[in-house]
A and B are shown apart, each in its own frame.
Chain A
Amino acid sequence: MEAYKRWTPAVHAAAYRVLDHPADLWLEVSGATLPQLFEHGLLALYDNLVALSTVRLTESRTVAAQGVTAALALRALLAEALFLVDTEGFLAGGARVTVEAGLPIAVRAELYGEPLDRERHELLAEVKAVTYHRLQAEAHPDGSWRAAVLLDV
């Protein structure tokens, strides 16, 4: 199990970058391990929704997803997190991710954060959907992962 940590600006820089895309938000996510790839995917999602420094870690929610490939599991996980944003306004500022061995890849994330408070949270964008477009994830020989995912905004 990966250690839980609050996402800080130093983590953001290593976690993902925004690729150039005319209409939407195209993210390249990196992780030293597969669980960290998923965690950084979540970070990238929330980092584009809200100024993460304004999110207090007072509550937790659990989301689970699976996919026959790492890319599909990542997409499904982000879609689960987005569903919580849309229905409960739940914003995360940190997460702990576990991945079960085997197929399909089953991922579970404990999200730490709080419900949206418009007085304190600076919202940055509305992510409509986590798309399948150009979705990919690949493992490197050293066990690290890199994925690309496009968010419809």
Chain B
Amino acid sequence: MCEMDTTLVRVDEFIWEIPPSGGMRVPGRIYADAALLDALGSDQSLSQVRNVAHLPGIRRYSLAMPDIHFGYGFPIGGVAAFGVDDGVVSPGGVGYDINCGVRLLATDLTRADVEGTMKRVVDQVFRDVPSGVGSHGAIHKLDRAELTRLVVQGAAWAVEHGFGHPRNLDHTESAGALHGADPDALSDRAFQRGLDQVGTLGSGNHFLEIQVVDEIFDPIAAGAFGLFEGQITLMVHCGSRGFGYQVCEDYLGVMAAAASRYGIELPDRQLACAPVTSPEAARYLAAMACAANYAWANRQMIMHLAEEALLRALSIGPKDLGLRLVYDVAHNIAKIEEHTHDGHTELLCVHRKGATRAFAPGHPELPAAYRDVGQPVLIPGDMGTASFVCKGTQAAMDQTFGSTCHGAGRVLSRAAAVKRSQGRSIERELAAVGVTVRSQGRKTLQEELPEAYKDVEEVVRVMDGAGISPRVARLRPLGVVKG
């Protein structure tokens, strides 16, 4: 099935459709411009969009964002919504790094305030926020009882333990905790992997950046988000670490057996799933919620560790720094949400795998401060270019189940990126464009080479042009800590 040619029909400037064929229950829809589609080349992600359209209870479209690339079963950059009565839940539709996401912090500092300090700042953050392969030890190793509380409470657990302020929760998607988290749905292994990794960044494409707001596109939304040109911001990109991977691993096995038990025909084994109404799905969602909450606690703690690092490096007080949470979004998650489509409103299980929620102005889940402008959408780019703040819209609610893109998306394999880095100093190249970088892993910088990624500007422009998530501000990296 994966080898079939995929027919694409152009719907408008930014939308392409894969008409239903074979066992597809709905069409596929891809948000992209011609250049991004070309860049997909021989990537199998379009076949994956088609495969997802086979799953029972899928509504409207199997969706792909412009940063789509190949994933296991579901493509990364994919969105699929299923009816809660007739649809399915799939761990492959969430991914291994459950609630991988992005947190944006604003400060009262401007570029002038940090002139000449970036090496000091980056070194301090690098020391204080554990990163890299197997990073651990941000706080004392938790015991099982503490971790049990953490995975139920999420970010609130971190706040309760002195990491941040209760007001942060209001500016976190789902207030930093999914309901229904049940520690009894977790394996011993998940606990073992989670005990020592809270408050750590991990490695790969995860990062902590010190950035400057270099362009405002929407002054009203930027004002509501507390952003202004020349301002220093911090961005954290990470997830649920080994804890989340273990939950995914545990339930891929469960779901493979469940799919055949429920007679669900799968075009690809990695789409393993179970009916939303089944006990297997209930347990997965309960375990997934634990992992999502772990990730929110993790980012909440990293925010606090980063704040302390900045205060130390710059020898200033918390009032001078003025650090505050703009927003925190999940981009690997499945959530039960109410959506209106084709004239009726229903509860759906929305899978976002490498896709960001983008709720419209007025949505009850948004904090009061953002209710008039829409949800802040945080789109990280590669370490040499830029990241974006966008905003959710009614068009997103109408077309994409309130979802948009999540980043740039890789174009070069890691091996190809390492090869292309030979004989170059990525550190020096970044320094030449004003970015100070520190990385734990020797290969990470090579693998994360800016040109290994799609042009984030282009990805964001598509979703802006389509009216799904208009741009609010662009953030340029000044300092980068990679795992």
Return the CB mask of B199-212 against A: 1 if under 8 Å, else 0. 00011100000000
The answer to the question of B413 belonging to the interface, with a C-beta cut-off of 8 Å to chain A, is yes
User: Among the listed B71, B133, B256, which residue makes an inter-chain contact with A49, where contact means beta carbons less than 8 Å apart?
Assistant: B133
- Which residues of A from 10 to 29 have beta carbons under 8 Å from B? 18, 20-25
Shortest Cβ distance from A122 into B: residue? B442
Chain B residue, CB-CB nearest to A123: B133
Q: How far is the CA of A131 from the CA of B96 in the complex (A)?
A: 9
A132 touches B270 (CB 8 A): yes
Query: Are A87 and B442 in contact (CB-based, < 8 A)?
Result: no
Q: Residue of A at shortest CB range from B41?
A: A22
Give the number of residues in A that approach B within 8 Å (Cβ atoms). Answer: 28
Q: How far is the CA of A132 from the CA of B127 in the complex (A)?
A: 36
- What's the interface size class on B, roughly? 35 or more
Q: Check A23–B270 contact: CB distance below 8 A.
A: no
Contact of B202 with A126 in the complex, beta carbons under 8 Å: yes
Residues of B within 8 A of A21 (CB): 413-415
List the one stretch of B152-160, B173-181, B244-252 in contact with chain A: B244-252
| Chain B 41-82 interface residues, beta-carbon cutoff 8 Å to A | 43, 69-73, 76
Given contacts A22-B410, A123-B132, A125-B443, contact A132 B72 (CB under 8 A): yes
Residues of A within 8 A of B43 (CB): 22
Q: Which residue in A20, A23, A126 is a CB contact (below 8 Å) of B134?
A: A126
Point out the residues of chain A lying under 8 angstroms from B440, CB to CB: 123
Tell me, in angstroms, the Cα distance from A83 to B188 when the chains sit together.
12
Interface status of A32 (Cβ within 8 A of chain B): no
B415 to A124, Cβ gap below 8 A? no
Taken together as a complex, chains A and B put the C-alpha atoms of A87 and B191 apart, in Å, by 10
Determine whether the beta carbon of B415 is less than 8 Å from that of A20: yes
Q: Is the CB of A126 within 8 A of B483?
A: yes
Q: Cβ of A109 < 8 Å from any Cβ of B?
A: no
Verify if B120 is at the interface (C-beta below 8 Å from A): no
Q: Could you list which residues of chain A lie within 8 angstroms of chain B, going by C-beta atoms?
A: 18, 20-25, 49, 79, 83, 85-87, 89, 116, 122-126, 128-129, 131-133, 150, 152-153
